[in-house]
Structure 1
Amino acid sequence: MAGAYVALEGGRVVEARARAPGTARGELVFTTAYTGYEESLTDPSYEEQILTFSYPLIGNYGVREERFESDRVHPRAVVARELTEDVADWLADEGVPAVDHLDTRDLVGGIREEGAMKCGIAAGPDATPEDALAELEDCPGMSDHVDIGAQVSVDEREIHLGEGDTDVALVDCGAKDSIVESLVDRGANVHVLPYDVAPEDVEAVDPDILFVSNGPGDPANFEAARSLVDEFVGEIPLAGICLGQQIIARALGGTTEKMDFGHRGVNQPVRDLETNRVVMTTQNHGYTVADPGDLDVTQVNVNDDTPEGLDSEDLDVITRQYHPEANPGPHDSLDFFDDVLAMARPGDDSSRRLVTAD
């Protein structure tokens, strides 16, 4: 089996086994998810990153396209303790380098201590440590990807019809397919718009709700989406998930900051400040809201108190940092989409909830 090398910021080089050949550079991050590897690998929020799985065996239930969250694999490379043949072959077909047979516990511990770091990978029969170090030397930081939205967004409007009469303008900054499906399943007509859509093109949709999606990178680099929020706040109800929460907060006077190693996994606990109930959530983000600006913090992460939910009844804004639509789960917070659509129906008595009713 061919060799591989993982070069870490600071100069350390780790030897591994090549499972899919090639070279790659990106920000090295980890996820604690033990299921949902297909969903993680096709999540656009991993664009320009190298994804390490902390769970030791990845691929034990095969690869099925119906589980994908987009039409391609987004991480620049994949690192695991052990990859099955199914996943390794899939990544090779996608042209995404993959390595295993290395100590991922040590790697994850290093990320937790030192933070997400630049990384270079070289895998294949002719790979050398120098090849991996060359990738590391040329690796940009996440904030340097100033137009990362262009890599993950639709080029032109796509329409997904539900069975109701609510129109949602979804600003696609790297939206997962499950977000669209969750809205359509509840009857909404979803107009997926490019990340840099102009205000007049949003007006042409005449939406009942403006929804800013998840996506990769630094929210400061999504200026067009921030401007849209500024343009329509107070006129159209606003909602956002993950990067969308950060963009909306920045537009409403708030600030964001890069986290040491982010939240990535399917077991992130979130507490609702009104009900004091805690639910488990799926998350994938490396930035967080530092100051919510004109919004109220309604939910927080149990582990570090970072904002997980923002709200403003006066402005008709509701956002979540986590992924209520997560596949394969947990599904504790799917009612978020009911709350979003309720904003398009003045006089609806539905309350904004955190958890699905028993």
Structure 2
Amino acid sequence: MNKRQLVLEDGTVFIGEGFGSEQTAKGEIVFNTGMTGYQEVISDPSYCGQIVMMTYPLIGNYGINLDDFETVTPFLHGLIVKEASRMPSNFRSEESIHAYLKENDIPGLAGIDTRKLTRIIRKYGTMKAVMTDLDKSPGALVEEMKHAPLPVNQVETTSTLKPYVVPGRGKRIVVVDFGMKHGILRELTKRDCHLTVVPYNYSANSILRLKPDGIMLTNGPGDPKNVPEAVEMIKQVIGSIPVFGICLGHQLLALASGADTEKMKFGHRGANHPVKDLRTGKTYITPQNHSYSVTKDTLTQANLELTQQSLNDGTVEGIAHKQYRAFSVQYHPESAPGPEDTGYLFDEFLKMTDSEHWNRGEKTHA
């Protein structure tokens, strides 16, 4: 493996061993605390445009298989690990993490002090970074990063281009794809839903013409305020059709209801985040991946109820509309990767579509 460097926006330089692709990687650097689930992380579209660092010291030990992908095409820009396993051992393994990254033109970097890098990100927040060859001047790279804006079209990049159907005999659900993980489809098809997956910019009128029983707002990358067309769509359908939002979908529902969102210092990424349900008093362990959160102080002006919150930092993890059938969570109940504590939320969503007080296409009060 060739020696390569990681240069942070603040001028910090790490030297490690390259694996996967030999391309230069540029993006916002973030960390994930999961001990397992690296394949789902690599293939999660919500990491579009980011360089992901895994805090667990050994990554790739059970290889890459054909069953655990969250999208066909990975969108992350780079992967950083302490040690990348070259000899995976698992009966489902099809190839090594090195081979997979190389095939998908994603550069990796191993052998650096990931604990030190994590402490830097926690102290100073997420920042721009470049992974490249040693012959590039760190000073020149820092200057370039200072003037290079972060991308704002991640949802457009990861969303489906055209609508498609996943047949089922049950509830008709429109899934608005903002950079969707396949785990969401798995949970809904497991419940025999008939799914119509539509692009992020599908109009409210087009959605209503499909006469769905419910609308799923999926996860996705980037700042929710960069998707104003989705906010406008949600404003027009909320109250007419039951809505369930996950991650970015949660933030978009909040914006559409009149609340605000804000960027976090270093975000939540991992499979072990405790969340308390304020209605039941129960605590769940959840998988998370987000850089933005709903601003708690703005919920009251939006007629939204705080239903769940993080036990780590008190941030908003769940909301419900006080007037209409709409709710959302910041974490990932499809559990890919992560605990399966909150899969019941898909059942709650489908129960919501059964309400005898709700008539399709007519705005009603919950």
TM-score under structure 2 length normalisation: 0.90
Aligned match for 1:303, one of 284, 303, 312: 312
The letter for the 2-side match of 1:27 is E
AA matched with 2:144: E
Output the amino acid matched with 2:353. A
Pairing of 1:253-292 with structure 2 (within 5 A): 253-290=258-295, 291-292=298-299
For residues 4-42 of structure 1, what are the alpha-carbon distances to aligned partners after superposition, in whole Å with 9 as ceiling and x for unaligned? 100001112111111121101100000000111000000
2:42 aligns with 41
Gaps of 5+ in 2: 87-95, 358-366
Residues of 2 paired with 1:34 and 1:147: CA distance? 30
Conservation of the 8 A alpha-carbon contact between 1:268 and 1:281: yes
Shift of 1:274: 1.6
Which whole-Å CA distance do the structure 1 matches of 2:19 and 2:208 have between them? Answer: 48
Distance in 2, Cα, partners of 1:19 & 1:6: 13
1:325 is matched with 334
Q: Which moved more, 1:225-234 or 1:145-154?
A: 145-154
2: CA distance, partners of 1:186 / 1:56: 37
For residues 147 and 325 of structure 2, the distance between their equivalents in structure 1, rounded to whole angstroms, comes to 38
- Cα deviation 1:225-281 (Å, max 9, x = unaligned): 111110111111111000000001001000000000000000000001122111100
Give the counterpart letter for 1:216 in structure 2. Answer: P
2:144 aligned residue: 137
Runs ≥4 residues deviating over 4 A? 138-142
8 A Cα contact 1:5 1:132, kept in partner: no
Question: Contact 1:7/1:133 (CA < 8 Å) preserved in 2?
Answer: no
Residue in structure 1 matched with residue 212 of structure 2 by the alignment:
207
Question: Are residues 307 and 12 of structure 1, via their aligned partners in 2, closer, same or farther at CA, if it must alter by over 3 Å?
Answer: same
Structure 1 CA distance for aligned equivalents of residues 255 and 141 of structure 2: 36
Judged with a 3 Å threshold, the aligned counterparts in structure 2 of structure 1 residues 284 and 160 are, in CA distance, closer, same or farther, namely same
Structure 2 residue aligned with 1:351: none
Tell me, in whole angstroms, the C-alpha distance in 2 between the residues paired with 1:79 and 1:116.
Answer: 15
The answer to whether residue 19 in structure 2 is matched with residue 19 in structure 1 is: yes
Q: In the aligned structure 1, how far is the partner of 2:143 from the partner of 2:29?
A: 11
**Partner AA of 1:283 in structure 2:** Q
* Residue 162 (structure 2) aligns with: 156
Query: 2:130 aligned with 1:116, yes or no?
Result: no
Correspondence list, 1:1-358, <5 A: 1-20=1-20, 21-85=22-86, 86-123=96-133, 127-130=134-137, 134=141, 137-138=144-145, 144-164=150-170, 166-290=171-295, 291-292=298-299, 293-312=302-321, 314-347=323-356
One-letter amino acid matched to 2:219: N
Q: 1:341 to 1:265 in 2, by over 3 A?
A: same
Pairwise CA distance, 1:320 = 0.7
* CA deviation after TM superposition for structure 1 residue 305, in Å: 0.7
How many corresponding residue pairs? 343
Indicate the percent of aligned positions where both proteins have the same amino acid: 36
The superposition leaves residues 41-89 of structure 1 with CA deviations (integer Å, 9 ceiling, x where unpaired) of 0000000000000000001111002100000222100000011231112
| TM superposition shift of 1:131 | 7.0
Secondary structure of residue in 2 paired with 1:118: strand
SS in 2 for 1:25: strand
RMSD: 1.7
Q: Distance in 2 between matches of 1:133 and 1:29?
A: 22
- Separation in 1 of the partners of 2:255 and 2:195? 24
